[in-house]
Structure 1
Amino acid sequence: MICGVDEAGRGPVIGPMVICGVAVRSDQELRELGVKDSKRLTPKKREELEPKIRRIAEVEVVEISADQIDSARTHMTMNALEAKVFATIIEKLSPDEAYVDAADVNEREFERLIRCGLKCRPRIISEHKADDTYPVVMAASIVAKVARDARVREIELEIGIPIGSGYQTDEVTMSFLNDFVERNGKCPPHTRRSWAPAKNIMMMKSLRTLDKFE
């Protein structure tokens, strides 16, 4: 059994990070599906492939909310958090080989972090851009991305106005975040308050409030 593990949503200021593991006996069927790194596929194509992947593979998905990320970052790095969840997924799937998209600049260090959380002892292949190389990691990236996109849309419905993709490079997201803080004096739900963009917006709001009293 081989498995691939990848994440979606490591960097955005709004929304969860989703980590997915996909396990198969052989990656041949995944190759035949035409899986690619999720970033190279349109949303429509990802949504077409996701149920097909689930039909031929064992799939594990873990969502880490913005609040959970903020809490974890008080005592661990994002790399350590990601490795911990990777280990949880690998443990559940119990493969002979696990292919992972390395989050750390040091691929071996990321492997070491994962092994710290494992009882099983699979061979671990920890590489940068594994989602460009191994179909089983490509499949994991697709399922993770579809799950995160769906969750962001749920958050948008909950809030009731467009929030964009959740990334700080998205003008819709940053406009929403700025406007919400300006009106309410706090970050909206599902915001990673420990992220620099959120901290900066809150700081600027505090400075504007102080200016009013001078």
Structure 2
Amino acid sequence: MNATESLEMVENIKQPEPVETISDEIAEKPANFALLISEEIVNTEDERYVAEEDIEGNPLLHGNRSYQASQPIIAEINLLTGEDLWHYKPNLLDKVKKEQGIPMLPLESIVEINDELLTDLKVGDSLVFTMPNGAEQQIVIAKINKISDKVTAWDLQNTQRQDIGKITQINDLTEGSFITDSKDEYHLRTVKNKGWLTSKKQLISNNNEAVNRNSEAYSDLIE
């Protein structure tokens, strides 16, 4: 009985279908074959890629997707003479200090920005920025990025076409920072077009003075 049952079970097992003979023909390459190949090629000379090392010290290559260097200006540089992006207004010192909640600001750093000129600027336009100390820096508008109806950014270059900073406007707030040819760093901040422009050195000095002044109030407790 066992032998008969075993024979019936073997007969009921589904036999595999015969495998088709593989011909010598080669399948046609996909229509997007060239694109697929190009996507796999990594150009190690591309500045968007930075070399790093893994935990075992082996070099890796990671794409930096956020890298967006300004492209060389194609348009001719248009020097706007007689136009100033800001005017110095020492009489607005108290108003600016109150609106921005800053206790200390150099009198010579208070400015009122020309918002109409800023919004009218085009790529290739060039202005001369005047610093609080009287130094001048020529800038060129390299790129204008209108992020939304309320946010616009202007990329700045010097006459050597080097990126030196950016100005960003969000509603009534305008902020910016840039580096001069003499390697001095300046920062701009205005609210409703009124605010300040000062050097990084001055900002650090102001902060140190504020810290020292605040600490004097607790000197007795520290002692």
TM-score by length of 1: 0.23
Between Structure 1 and Structure 2, the one with more strand by share is: 2
Greater Rg, structure 1 or structure 2? 2
Higher relative contact order (CA 8 A, sep 6+): 1
Is the helix fraction higher in 1 or 2? Answer: 1
The normalised TM-score by structure 2 is 0.22
